[in-house]
């Protein structure tokens, strides 16, 4: 086994960002048993005109369903790995949805978006991969307009997964309102609404 392969496997099995070399595992059909993209779209209650940020889209398991729900809106894909953005962009192109999305390589703790510039920001199994999940949640709160939604999903099998209690406590500290919850145990989605100003 080469050193490069050892490194990729070590990153995949451990904590932190999923290496782009193994991103195909994030689009396996079995993942639908955990959460279907269409279900997440319903949980987010997307409106056709909304501007939506997907933090850490990986190769785009959820992205086509979200873009499809935004015929008059726009999906912004933000990922720290350029190769991941290339993969999700290719997936959207194949689905005929490329014009509804744009990609930006960015750190979750410093998104290149202005305050209150999106209606919805969502992250699936991503916040725990960041060096500071609370700061990443605060950054999502910064860019979401008052009355918008911050949607965080955690899934089983993710070594970086946060608990509902951890997310709730982070939300309280950031003056976010926990508006809705879906799922249970380690497979859940929470919807926060930002206050008029972030703490």
Per residue of the chain (199 residues), what is the pLDDT tens digit? 566 544 433 444 444 565 555 555 455 566 556 789 999 999 999 999 999 999 999 999 999 999 999 999 999 999 999 999 999 999 999 999 999 999 999 999 999 999 999 999 999 999 999 999 999 999 999 999 999 999 999 998 788 899 999 999 999 999 999 999 999 888 999 999 997 644 4
* 8, part of any domain: no
Q: How many domains does the chain divide into?
A: 1
Residue identified by tokens 């015929």 is 71
Q: Is residue 138 part of a domain?
A: yes
Name every residue whose Cβ is closer than 8 Å to that of residue 103 and which is 6 or more positions away in sequence: 76, 77, 78, 79, 85, 88, 89
3 state DSSP class of 141 = helix
- What is the domain extent for residue 166? 37-194
Instruction: Report yes or no on 70 lying in a domain.
Output: yes
42 inside domain: yes
**Structural domain includes residue 3:** no
pTM of the full structure: 0.84
CATH code of the domain covering residue 86: 3.40.50.150
């Amino acid at each position: 086994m080469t050193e490069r392969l050892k490194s990729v496997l070590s990153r995949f099995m451990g904590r932190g960002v999923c290496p782009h070399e193994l991103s195909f595992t994030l689009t396996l059909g079995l993942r639908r048993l955990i959460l279907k993209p269409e279900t997440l779209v319903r949980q987010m209650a997307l409106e056709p005109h909304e501007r939506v940020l997907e933090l850490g889209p990986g190769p785009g398991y959820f992205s086509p369903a979200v873009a499809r729900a935004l015929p008059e809106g726009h999906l912004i894909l933000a990922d720290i790995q350029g190769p991941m953005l290339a993969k999700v962009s290719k997936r959207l192109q194949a689905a005929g949805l490329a014009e509804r999305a744009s990609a930006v390589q960015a750190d979750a703790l410093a998104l290149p978006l202005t305050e209150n510039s999106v209606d919805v920001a969502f992250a699936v199994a991503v916040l725990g991969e960041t060096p500071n999940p609370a700061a990443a949640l605060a950054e999502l709160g910064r860019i979401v307009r008052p009355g918008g939604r911050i949607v965080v999903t955690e899934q089983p099998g993710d070594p970086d997964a946060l608990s509902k209690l951890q997310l709730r406590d982070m939300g309280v500290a950031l003056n976010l309102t926990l508006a809705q919850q879906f799922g249970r145990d380690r497979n859940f989605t929470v919807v926060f609404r930002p206050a008029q100003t972030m703490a």
